[in-house]
Structure 1
Amino acid sequence: MSLSAMSTPTPAQVPSHVESGEGPPLVFLHSMAGSSASWSEQFAAMSANHRCIAWDMPGFGESPSAEHTSMTEMSDLVVRMLDFLGIAEPAHLVGLSVGGMIAQECAVRHPERFASLVILDSAAQFGNGSAANSDEWAATMIATINATPVPDFCREMVQSITASGLSAEATARGVAAMSRATKPGLRLATRLIAGHDTVSALPGMLLPTLVIVGEHDPETPVAYAQRLAELIPHATLSVIPDCGHLSSLEAPIAVNQALRAHLKRTAR
């Protein structure tokens, strides 16, 4: 039975989250290199007109670790959070990187719970369907996570996936947001990324969708975003100049403008 059909969950059954504002619900799912704290710029821009909610996925922030949670279970967990918050109307869903992958799964499995979808710096499939070995990548990444102190891992990741020229202040904010992760949470995110594949499902997904990508994203390049936009019916693609993988942090003004335009187009 879907979690969305269960009775109202208790606080212990939902991930930690923050919220601000009133209006149509706008839900944010962070990347592996982030947490609920990653969306401060979007909260500041959007909370005047929307009820903004950002979660900490399992193993991040105050959310308990659940290292072997499947992608299906992650999508059900998002719906469980909506139920706990009393949100019955369809919510706008925004996801970055692995958060964008979870958002895709949510849109495919629970389309009735969402008004629209925004996917930032993500992909429809690990490696965009290339010959890349996802198991090998995951094993290497997990070995690195196990061997590296979390603060060092976070600093090195944020610096490696953002575009050159990012200010020291923005870099520090990104590292601080990601540093709320635990090793089980980082391993979970790694496994979710490696196993992700919505290629066959997305053509039947009819939610209004905006795909955003940084021009210089080294992790999920523009070609990945183009494929997403081609797979999803009537999706809109926005490429953010001079930006890497953490577009909402690196170019918040441009991302917020694109998000506002999308929300205006999809207003009910």
Structure 2
Amino acid sequence: MDSVEVAGLRIRYRREGQGQPLVLLHGAYEDSRIWRRQLDALSDEFTVFAWDAPGCGGSDDPPPDFTGRQLGETLAGFLREAVPGRPHLLGLSMGSGIALELYRAHPSVPASLLLVSAYAGWAGSLPPEEVERRYAQVLAELDQPPEQFIPEWLPTLFTEHADPAAVEETSAIMADFHPAGMRALLNANARADYRDVLPAIAVPTLLLYGTRDVRSPLSVAREMNRQIPGSALVLIPDVGHMAPVEAPEAFTTEVRNFLRGLAG
């Protein structure tokens, strides 16, 4: 892995391939390893970057009072330091929120947005009581050993048809979370609301969801599509929240088709 320093934090990342830059932003409890399949499959056509967000993987933990704005600025700094040209940004779940945070302050940076299993922030897409339930759940988990709570997450991330090896791989990645890093990220973005950002998005935007996603369900997907001008909503049948892992071939095909359409 390579690394750059951004505002005093060491940010680790993976880079594969040659071509237009495509930056992959993972979700909560994950790191860049979750993109193993996409780093391999898309590197024939793109320079694919997958970062470890602050507090995840090999990257440094941010301070406890880290804010959502600072998270967006860290991504902006990472792009300046590591990524040549104007990148396509692909965010999964929490990663989509980080992409929206960046867009709020730096709308000229991304060439396009690919928002996967996305929210307009939890507070922008979910009822207040569900936001607080999720916040309290994760906060409690940070004091528990991973083997105690990760098995409870997996049925909310995958359908029963998912490849057991892929589920086990994801579980192992999640088990490597940083308690201090996740606590800082939770405080930075758990109550984020990007509803004001969506109507202002002026770059091509793909919204990609599994039809059986129980964490960011189709009602969230359709509202995102309604709010983002000109956005394309694509649904992958019978797939859950972790579409890039559960259905990597279908996922990669949709990403490739969208980006090729922009080039054409």
What TM-score do you get using the length of structure 2 for normalisation? 0.90
When structure 1 is superposed on structure 2, of 133-142 and 98-107 the one drifting more is 133-142
In structure 2, the partner of 1:22 is 18
Q: Does 1:236 align with 2:219?
A: no
In structure 1, the partner of 2:110 is 114
Deviation at 1:105, TM superposition (A): 1.4
In structure 2, the partner of 1:4 is none
In structure 2, the partner of 1:5 is none
In structure 2, the partner of 1:144 is 141
Q: What is the 5 A alignment of 1:1-268?
A: 9=5, 13-66=9-62, 67-85=64-82, 87=84, 89-126=85-122, 128-132=125-129, 134-146=131-143, 148-267=144-263
When structure 1 is superposed on structure 2, of 75-84 and 112-121 the one drifting more is 75-84
Q: Partners in 2 of 1:258 and 1:43 — Cα distance?
A: 15
Deviation at 1:263, TM superposition (A): 0.4
Q: Relative to 1, partners in 2 of residues 1:267 and 1:108: Cα closer, same or farther, differing over 3 Å?
A: farther
Q: Relative to 1, partners in 2 of residues 1:133 and 1:249: Cα closer, same or farther, differing over 3 Å?
A: closer
Query: Which letter does structure 2 place at the counterpart of 1:29?
Result: L
Q: Relative to 1, partners in 2 of residues 1:157 and 1:224: Cα closer, same or farther, differing over 3 Å?
A: same
Q: Partners in 1 of 2:147 and 2:182 — Cα distance?
A: 12
Deviations 1:76-118 (A, max 9, x none): 111111222252x210000001001111112222122110000
Q: Partners in 2 of 1:259 and 1:55 — Cα distance?
A: 18
Deviation at 1:242, TM superposition (A): 1.1
Q: Partners in 2 of 1:10 and 1:194 — Cα distance?
A: 23
Give the 4+ runs in structure 1 shifted more than 6 A.
none
Query: Which letter does structure 2 place at the counterpart of 1:255?
Result: F
Q: Partners in 2 of 1:186 and 1:219 — Cα distance?
A: 18
Question: Is the contact between residue 33 and residue 157 of structure 1 (CA under 8 Å) also seen in structure 2?
Answer: no
Q: Relative to 1, partners in 2 of residues 1:134 and 1:191: Cα closer, same or farther, differing over 3 Å?
A: farther
Q: SS in structure 1 opposite 2:209? A: strand
Deviation at 1:129, TM superposition (A): 4.5
Q: Partners in 2 of 1:216 and 1:94 — Cα distance?
A: 20
Query: Which letter does structure 1 place at the counterpart of 2:236?
Result: I
Question: Is the contact between residue 14 and residue 77 of structure 1 (CA under 8 Å) also seen in structure 2?
Answer: no
Percent identical: 27
Q: Partners in 2 of 1:223 and 1:38 — Cα distance?
A: 26
Question: Is the contact between residue 33 and residue 158 of structure 1 (CA under 8 Å) also seen in structure 2?
Answer: no
Question: Is the contact between residue 55 and residue 185 of structure 2 (CA under 8 Å) also seen in structure 1?
Answer: no
Query: Which letter does structure 1 place at the counterpart of 2:25?
Result: L
Deviation at 1:185, TM superposition (A): 2.6
Q: Relative to 1, partners in 2 of residues 1:140 and 1:9: Cα closer, same or farther, differing over 3 Å?
A: closer
Q: SS in structure 2 opposite 1:53? A: strand
Query: Which letter does structure 1 place at the counterpart of 2:22?
Result: L
Query: Which letter does structure 2 place at the counterpart of 1:234?
Result: G
Gaps of 5+ in 1: 1-7
Deviation at 1:33, TM superposition (A): 3.8
